[in-house]
Chains A and B, each alone.
Chain A
Amino acid sequence: MDLFEYQGKSLYQSYEISHPKSVLIKNLNDLEKVNTLNYPVVVKAQVQVGGRGKAGGIKVVNNYQELEDSANAIFGMDIKGHKVEILLVEEASEIYEEYYISFTLDRSEKKYLMMLSSKGGMDIEQVAKDTPDDLIKLHISPSEGLIDKDLDNSILNAKLNQEYTVELIQIIKKLFELFVAGDCDLVEVNPLAITSSGVMALDAKVALDMNAKFKHENFQTLEDEIPIPEEEKYAKERGLNFIKLDGSVGIIGNGAGLVMSTLDVVAEHGGNAANFLDIGGGAQSETVSAALEVLETDPNVKSVLINIFGGITRCDLVAEGIVKATKGKNLKWPIVIRLDGTNALEGLDILKNNPNENIFISENMDNAAKLAVESGA
């Protein structure tokens, strides 16, 4: 789960990672709070999309009047489809040097990866492409952690300013601690800066591993602060993994791989999926009814394909869910159903005993997809 910058910085606070003093503005009437900071300050739009600086979402101001003007301009601004509803106002320091650092998991190596560069404050992907030697990569053993000597060498090889080695080591170790103990998928700081107030993490791009939610009380709070589209929220509350797409064939399936594959087969038959919807493993009949309700909220849906291969999931429960959600109803669209695997025969019997003129059963995935595309055309 990707965090807003201000959320990432709240984690910096917990892990004692030095960063600028700041206040959070969620309402323009709260601007007075900024007077606890020393000017100049930076007003930063909080949006989960890159390029906010270019879009005018970041401004340095020298006094309250300028602050009001900038805050009014930025608040409510639309940046690439993201509306600005929160501002982070930070004390601005004089910046002497800008570095880049990140910690992530390298899935190929099955180790943690630290990337470090003296070329911070700019597009680091471009640096990686144009002058790859300027980006130092260090693989870290997950069981041994970050070894002092390796870190020293990385700082040396990245040609960071030697005068600040002690402070750099300190902040990098704390960032690594946040990455590991904080169960982050990503900690990326660009820039990590040497400023008139010392070495500081000026930005925060942090993503959390939500599988570790049980270890961290604050994950839920952070999650609640992140807005998600209404229909995705509805689906999430019901334990469904739902992503809205642009097509007209509504898709319900079990298991991410099978659902992705269903999208592909629909496309092969000339259709376009309206969504990705995975009911997960071991779904109950209520889960399936809820999945159909989620699709009803999408006016673009013209037909629905339910593709189930039972393993842990039982096809009879899926069939019960379908019957519950559709019985006696005048369906808005045709539903094509394919059931295989655990208790498939029982499931098909349930469907046959509860006929509906808009429900069609198909014996395999390919034909089911074809029928769903044709019946919605």
Chain B
Amino acid sequence: MSILINENTKVVVQGLTGREGQFHALRNRDYGTKIVAGTRPGKGGENIETIPIFNTVEEAIEGTGANVAMTFVPPAFAKEAVLEAAYAGCELVVCITEGIPAKDEAEMYDIIKNKTDSKLLGPNCPGLISPGKSNVGIMPHEITKEGNVGVVSRSGTLTYQAVHELTQLDIGQSTCIGIGGDPVPGMSFIDVLSEFEKDSETSAIVMIGEIGGSAEEEAAEYIKSSITKPVVSYIAGVTAPPGKKMGHAGAIVSGNKGTAKAKMEALNEAGAIVVSNPTKIGKAIEELI
């Protein structure tokens, strides 16, 4: 098993006709991912390297049985695209697009959560890969390996770094997920942790956070109460200059949360093994299993 996607996942690519969408869709198909359809209003009936194009996600689902959407639509149209995929019934919408306004993100999150049964991953995320099965996103699959460690991270390149460290030590992964670092991400650390906990093929979890916000502190509480599998964690930004505060309002909302130190302490207290350097992640997992 793996979480969220597997060998049976059928992917519809929103924005397949764009440069990025096409590059990654074809690369993922070569890897073995079932890329079954693309959408582009007005281009229905055409195809890209034999992948059929539909005008809408609804038609794509009807025609191909797609159940997951991968979105590469530009920021100005991303909200509408994500909502279209969710309303059409995709179980999971993976939004790669970077640079979506926070108000659009907040609104689309709210609607998906309250009015649809879909899950949203991202935006501004590298997507997810279940090695050997399916790659829905932009992660370089060459650095992954089939196995039993679940990886979840807010940062893109740092996810690659962590996965690379594991693979170097011959430790494989069940699923690697980047949740994205935008102000309103869809799936949170907690959502992903609960999936890993349920997954019989995941035996340990790597969680990578960074300064800002309080998602890591919330995840720590969840680890303490609900996760029985071992967790190795790394937080980036110990030495980063303090970010700008969002006025007094920001200071009141965040309190003393948000610093690397606060996050590391919370995770440590929750029983996670906190490493000080991403190159130590592999070793820490190796000692656990």
A residues in contact (CB < 8 Å) with B = 2, 102-108, 110-113, 115, 123-125, 128, 135, 141-144, 180, 183, 185-186, 188, 190, 205, 207, 209, 211-212, 214-215, 243, 245, 253-258, 260-261, 263-268, 273, 276, 281, 309-312, 340-342, 364-366
Contacts and interface: CB of A to CB of B under 8 A. Distances in A.
A267 B161 CA distance: 18
B289 interface: no
B184 interface: yes
B158 A207 contact: no
Contacts of A261: 158, 161, 234, 236-237, 277-278
A256 B240 CA distance: 11
B185 to A, nearest CB: 9
B277 A265 contact: yes
B218 A108 contact: yes
Interface of B: 20, 75-76, 98-103, 106-107, 109-111, 114, 126, 138-140, 142-143, 153-161, 164, 181, 183-184, 208, 210-211, 213-215, 218, 234, 236-241, 244, 246-253, 276-279
Given A107-B213, A256-B181, A310-B140, A366 B248 contact: no
B273 to A, nearest CB: 17
A268 B277 contact: yes
Nearest to A106: B253
A260 B240 contact: yes
B241 A125 contact: no
Contacts of B247: 102, 104, 186, 188, 205, 207
Given A267-B238, A366-B279, A211 B99 contact: yes
B256 to A, nearest CB: 12
Contacts of A103: 249
B57 to A, nearest CB: 20
Contact of A214 (B76, B102, B240): B76
17 contacts: A106-B253, A108-B214, A110-B110, A115-B252, A124-B252, A183-B101, A190-B248, A207-B246, A255-B156, A256-B210, A258-B155, A260-B240, A261-B158, A276-B240, A311-B157, A340-B143, A364-B279
A328 to B, nearest CB: 31
Interface secondary structure of A, over-half rule: mixed
Contacts of B106: 105, 110-112, 142
Given A281-B156, A341-B143, A186 B246 contact: yes
Contacts of A364: 279
Nearest to B101: A212
Contacts of B107: 142-143
Given A125-B252, A209-B103, A243-B241, A281 B184 contact: no
A260 B126 contact: no
Contacts of B181: 256-257
A2 B234 CA distance: 31
Contact of A264 (B126, B214, B277): B277
Minimum-distance CB pairs A-B, first 4: A257-B155, A255-B157, A257-B158, A212-B101
B252 A128 contact: yes
B124 to A, nearest CB: 9
Given A104-B253, A110-B184, A309 B160 contact: yes
A237 to B, nearest CB: 18
Given A110-B184, A188-B247, A105 B102 contact: yes
Nearest to B143: A341
Contacts of A215: 76, 101
B157 A113 contact: no
A268 B276 contact: yes
Contact of B114 (A107, A143, A207, A214): A143
B184 A276 contact: no
A224 B102 CA distance: 22
Given A258-B236, A260-B237, 17 more contacts: A102-B248, A102-B249, A104-B249, A110-B106, A115-B249, A123-B248, A142-B110, A186-B247, A190-B248, A214-B75, A243-B241, A258-B155, A265-B277, A341-B143, A342-B142, A364-B279, A365-B279
